[in-house]
């Protein structure tokens, strides 16, 4: 039986249909990103059943809706290699930017003994881990893209995942789930004043 051999003849993307304008490594990475978005959406559905706080439910719902739209755009770009029928948007969180600094005593954490131990603290931590992980994955994937449209869609999605991560962090911080230690004032001053402006440099 004849085997399908890979196409080893160099071809310009200008001579290929847009649907074929993908490199092999790019396709593997694109599949990983899209599968990770599916995983996040599926797990958000599971989390929603156990959330108690309405505010956390609303955050999960907003992020899920936004990522579902992004998923459809990425799939369209992967299949067509062309500009999608709808543009990507900017995710806008509803949290303010107030961060509480300092540490308060808390009970030591340990793994849950049963599903009954699930809490908004733990569920929001899972959300934070997933959005941060997806932001990192998309950033690395965008650097491997050869198709300009898919590259732009994935690259433009990185700030949105960062914003989602920050939204979940702010929720956690507000409820005391994610505490932020601070250095002493003199140490902060020393660290923030460790650099001076550089003059403009002409390399030629």
Q: How far from chain centre, in Å, is Cα 137? A: 7
How does residue 23 score in pLDDT terms, banded at 50, 70 and 90?
A: low
Q: What is the pTM of this model?
A: 0.86
Average pLDDT for 159-183: 96
Average pLDDT for 177-189: 94
Contact in structure between 18 and 80 (CB atoms under 8 Å) = yes
Q: What is the pLDDT of residues 81-124, one digit of tens each?
A: 888 899 999 999 988 899 999 999 988 889 999 999 999 999 99
| Token digits of residue 180 | 């932020």
Q: 85-89: list long-range contacts, CB under 8 Å, 24+ apart.
A: 88/153, 88/156, 88/157, 88/160
- Among the ranges given (1-10, 38-47, 193-202), the one the predictor scored with the smallest mean pLDDT: 1-10
| Token digits of residue 123 | 């569920």
- Among the ranges given (17-26, 35-44, 178-187), the one the predictor scored with the smallest mean pLDDT: 17-26
What's the pLDDT score for residue 31?
93
Q: Name 78's Cβ contacts closer than 8 Å, sequence gap at least 6.
A: 22, 27, 30, 34, 150
The domains of the chain are located at 17-96+119-180
Is a pLDDT exceeding 80 seen at residue 5?
no
Q: Would you list the DSSP string of 40-100?
A: HHHHHHHHHTT---HHHHHHHHHHHHHHHHHHHHHHHHHHH-S--SS--------S-----
| Token digits of residue 159 | 């700030």
Helix (H, G, I), strand (E, B) or coil at 101: strand
Average pLDDT for 16-30: 66
Is a pLDDT exceeding 90 seen at residue 132?
yes
Task: Provide CATH code, domain 17-96+119-180.
Answer: 1.20.1260
Q: What is the pLDDT of residues 56-84, one digit of tens each?
A: 999 999 999 999 999 999 999 988 888 88
What's the pLDDT score for residue 7?
56
Q: Name 37's Cβ contacts closer than 8 Å, sequence gap at least 6.
A: 67, 70, 71, 74, 134
């Amino acid at each position: 039986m004849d085997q399908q051999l890979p196409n080893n003849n160099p071809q310009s993307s200008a001579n290929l249909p847009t649907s074929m304008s993908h490199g092999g490594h790019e396709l593997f990475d694109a599949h990983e990103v899209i599968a990770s978005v599916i995983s996040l959406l599926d797990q958000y559905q599971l989390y929603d059943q156990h959330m108690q706080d309405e505010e956390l439910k609303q955050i999960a719902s907003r992020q899920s809706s936004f990522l579902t739209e992004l998923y459809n755009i990425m799939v369209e770009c992967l299949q067509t290699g062309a500009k999608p029928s709808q543009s990507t948007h900017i995710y806008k969180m509803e949290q303010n930017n107030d961060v509480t600094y300092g540490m308060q005593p808390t009970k030591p954490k340990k793994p849950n003994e049963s599903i009954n131990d699930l809490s908004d603290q733990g569920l929001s931590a899972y959300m934070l881990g997933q959005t941060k992980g997806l932001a990192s994955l998309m950033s690395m994937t965008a650097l491997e893209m050869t198709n300009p449209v898919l590259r732009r869609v994935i690259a433009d999605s990185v700030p949105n995942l960062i914003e989602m991560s920050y939204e979940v962090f702010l929720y956690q911080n507000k409820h005391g789930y994610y505490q932020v230690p601070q250095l002493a004032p003199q140490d902060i001053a020393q660290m923030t004043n460790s650099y001076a402006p550089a003059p403009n440099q002409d390399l030629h």
